[in-house]
Amino acid sequence: MSAPLTPYGQAEAELLAYGLSLPETDLAPPRRDADPFRYLRVAGKGFAWFGGRDEHPDELILTVKLPISAEMVAGLPFVQESSGWHKRHNWVTARFGPEDDVLAEMETLKAWMRQSYLAVAPRRLARQVAGD
């Protein structure tokens, strides 16, 4: 009998399933043995990754590319401020800790993953998803 998922584990499992339901996506293998990140990619290009070097079991960290809404979401309490390359290229990191209700934000996070997918995917796949 397996232990029940925490809200963060439940959220990550649901978001991974959503990401993998998009055309031609896969979960990339870790880049290094101790790599704490879990990458979703389309056509070999990453569009969402989970985790971080300082990730704890009672939190969720999700990074996505938001070319349309990166500036608009910057003030949300669960969005970490980006800098350098990430900021210039509109990558946003959402970090939910023990005090946050990550499950209440699932539709927002799925919409962000979709936007990130559309930004990274080849045109034929992006048109297919955008037409849904």
How many angstroms separate the CA atoms of 91 and 44, rounded?
Answer: 18
Spacing of C-alpha 43 from chain mean position? 17
SS3 128: helix
42-94 residue pLDDT tens: 999 999 999 877 777 788 999 999 999 999 999 999 998 777 888 889 999 99
Number of domains in the chain: 1
Q: Would residue 67 count as lying in a domain?
A: yes
Whether residue 29 is predicted with pLDDT greater than 60 in this model: the reply is yes
Query: Which pLDDT does position 132 carry in this prediction?
Result: 64
Q: Would residue 70 count as lying in a domain?
A: yes
Q: Would residue 28 count as lying in a domain?
A: yes
Domain ranges, residue 83: 7-127
Q: Would residue 17 count as lying in a domain?
A: yes
Whether the full predicted model's pTM is greater than 0.95, yes or no, is no
Q: Would residue 132 count as lying in a domain?
A: no
Query: Which pLDDT does position 33 carry in this prediction?
Result: 62
What whole-number percentage of the chain has pLDDT above 70? 92
How many angstroms separate the CA atoms of 28 and 46, rounded?
Answer: 8
Average pLDDT over residues 1-17: 81
What residue has token string 């499950």?
103
Query: Which pLDDT does position 88 carry in this prediction?
Result: 87
Query: Which pLDDT does position 118 carry in this prediction?
Result: 97
| pLDDT level of residue 13 (50, 70, 90 thresholds) | very high
For 125: left if phi > 0, alpha if psi spans -120 to 50, otherwise beta; the answer is alpha
- Sign of CA pseudo-dihedral 12, 51, 83, 46: negative
Query: Which pLDDT does position 87 carry in this prediction?
Result: 83
What residue has token string 């870790």?
30
Q: Which residue has the higher pLDDT, 53 or 97?
A: 97
Q: Would residue 2 count as lying in a domain?
A: no
41: domain CATH number is 3.90.1150.30
